[in-house]
Amino acid sequence: MMYRREHNVLIAQEGNTTVYIQPWGANALRVQMTKEQQLDSNTWALSEPAAGTELSPGTELSPGTELPVSAQMPSITIQEISFSQPWLKHYPEAQKNIERAYIASITNGKITASFNHEGWLTFTNDKDEVLLKEFWRNRSRIDRYCIPLNLSGRELKPVKGSSDWELTARFEAFEDEKIFGLGQYQDEFLNKKGLVLDLCQKNSQSSVPFMLSSRGYGFLWNNPAIGRVNFANNITEWYAQSTKKMDYWVTAGDTPQQIMEQYTSVTGRTPPLPSFASGFWQCKLRYKNQEEVLSVAREYKRRNLPLSVIVIDFFHWTMQGDFEFDPVDWPDPASMVKELEEMGIILMVSVWPTIDERSKNFGIMAQNGHLVRFERGSGVHMSWMGNTVFFDATHPEARKFVWETCKKNYGQYGIKHYWLDEAEPEYGIYDFDQFRYAVGPALQVSNIYPQYFAKAFFEGQSSSGQTDILNLVRCAWAGSQKYGALVWSGDIHSSFRAMREQLQAGLNMGLAGIPWWTTDIGGFLGGDIHDPEFQELIIRWFQWGAFCPVMRLHGERPPFEDLGDQEYRGQVRQMPSGQANEVWSFGDRAYEIMQKFLLLREKLRPYIHTLMEESHIKGSPVMRTMFYEFPDDDKCWNCTDQYMLGSKILVAPVMEKEIGKRKVYLPKTNSTDTWTHLFTGEKFKAGQTIEEVCPLETLPVYYQGENPLV
């Protein structure tokens, strides 16, 4: 392996393989590898200006040009080493093959990447502690005749018949390591160590490939390709089925907070949260006409219940891809929006990226290349309620067309906020090798689709002068947060199992840089409102929802009403509606409890906005793992069923059926020796595990310091 320095970049080369390492923000390094003559220029998630990124590999400077200060930051060393060790005399043939050997390193603040004499990387912090290191079990460069397992730390294998590459990056596994983040997966594991995760977007799964390690580093797999990551006990392995290069980013930090701040500084942070968003959101599948929406809103006001947002779900339109109200059921949207605004309620409407082949926009979008293409054959992407194809959100003109159409057909009525559903996109069959986007084949880029979908509306809203930007999106990738994406956890089941899974999903989304997050309270799939078991579930979920970043009630609630033929509109049958899904719909006892927590949420709103401001400024999660706030407390690294809402409130949601009590760990704090129960005012000594009785009317919530509700 030969090394050289170009400006602030350490370059390692062997044959046709080149590795580039350069500073990319505070205490961070970006590592890229290619087998092409020209390095692919995509920055993907690393889109924000960062110190050290001014000079890309291959940049040529005129003689006398002064480098930017930030480009001079790294310490780069290249050193020739001697192989005169006594044991080499036993390998005379190997010694003849070695003319020179080198080691090299690059340091940026708290992190150093070092190539050993074999050319493999180790990352250390400013205390010279190993953070991570490449896994290699292949031939030695010292003994060219020794070929053991022949596993290398990084490899690009050509995809036959193409100019693309199959990528594998391997790292040593550490027994004591805990791994968090990675986005949203439907399992019960907060700690992802020991798991295999698919790197692909699906309904209820958001692959956001940033991990935070208990060893003191953060790692971004900066690649939107379809693949997987394996956090096995014997190896950590990142894999992309088809790509142009290897690209990852590593940062070192003394605390999880520092790591998150450094990560979000290079991928982006949320805009300021609009004031309405911290209140209560009402939704169901589905409000089928204008009068139904208004009657629900009027009933909330009649009962003096706070309501900030009401959402109109899918199939309010004439056709998928028309992006407009059906005039039969929605005869006067302007008056509807006006009346809701007078009640202090924001209206949000659902937008799907599906374009029905019968839509008035299908022909022009197909002609202009605005639809996701097929690699072979022809057909449809989804055949639910019509044969549809997804619009290509990676295409700038397609994004502009969809936004301009929505602005015309919804914006004219004063609607400014959108529910961007099906954002994965949800292909009927996830055969990613079948599809191609403007920015490349789906195998290489599909994971970035939800980010571009959010970007389409963020760009349009910004260009229209809108400042209170927030859109509800069903999926995300690294960087989605900067486009005002409020992500929810998709079409999950109405069960305590699913509820438990959402807790770790929300916490890991926050650690992946996505702080605006919510669930369908009560779950989406199922939930008979007259069933006592479901009533218990939705009470517990509603209580937890009051302490989530955004509080939103939604669900399909079968059985659906029978509408006979009255819902036919020519060739399109609009969706029927499930049962009622308002807070008074689940029985008197449930209503009394839900009303209590709805009013509590109103008192929490000022505190929620202080946390959202932290997210905007520092990239901090709103829902925080216990170790995020108390990293020096070993017990907090193992707390999986409780969390911190910001730095003051500890929430221990009840997520088991018919449970009478549960244990809660109250960590030692720097500000006080006690925790105070939010509902009873009882004080508890910090640094102990307590067992609390939790009847259906309440749940364990504690605060440290001053009461955040006052």
Helix, strand or coil, per DSSP, at residue 451? helix
| Residue 701, number of CB atoms within 10 A of its CB | 21
133's torsion region: left (phi>0), alpha (psi -120 to 50) or beta? beta
Contact 557, 285 (CB under 8 A): yes
* Token representation of residue 470: 């927030």
Q: Which two tokens stand for residue 352?
A: 């799907």
User: Can you tell me the distance from the alpha carbon of 176 to that of 170, in angstroms, rounded to the nearest whole number?
Assistant: 18
Given phi > 0 = left and psi -120 to 50 = alpha, else beta, which region is 161?
Answer: left
Taking alpha carbons only, the member of 345, 333, 280, 283 closest to residue 313 is 283
> DSSP for 570-639?
TTEEPP---S--STTSS-HHHHHHHHHHHHHHHHHHHHHHHHHHHHHHH---SEE-HHHH-TT-GGGGG-
Cβ neighbours, 10 Å, residue 328:
11
Our CA dihedral for 545, 547, 552, 555, rounded to 10 degrees, sits at -10
* Number of Cβ atoms within 10 Å of the Cβ of 116: 18
Q: Is 177 among the residues known to form the active site?
A: no
Question: For residue 213, what are its two tokens?
Answer: 């390690």
> Edge to edge, what strands does the sheet with 440-441 contain?
373-374, 435-437, 440-441
Catalytic-labelled residue, pool 237, 329, 421, 692? 421
Taking the C-alpha atoms of residue 465 and residue 475, their distance in angstroms, rounded to an integer, is 25
Element (H, E) at 302: helix 290-302
Among positive and negative, which fits the CA dihedral 435, 440, 441, 445?
Answer: negative
Instruction: Give residues with Cβ within 8 angstroms of 362, minimum separation 6.
Output: 321, 355, 356, 389
Q: Is 468 a catalytic residue?
A: no
Residue 175 designated active-site = no
Q: How many CB atoms sit inside 10 A of residue 148's CB? A: 9
Write the single-letter amino acid at 622.
Answer: V
Of 424, 501, 520, 692, the catalytic one is 424
The residues facing 399 across adjacent strands are none
Tell me which of 48, 491, 528, 567 is the catalytic residue: 491
Burial (CB count <10 Å: 0-12, 13-18, 19+), residue 149: exposed
Strand partners, 294: none
Report phi then psi at 371, rounded to 5.
-110, 150
Burial of residue 366 (CB within 10 Å: 0-12, 13-18, 19+) is middle
CA gap 125, 252 in Å, rounded: 6
What positions carry a catalytic annotation? 421, 424, 491
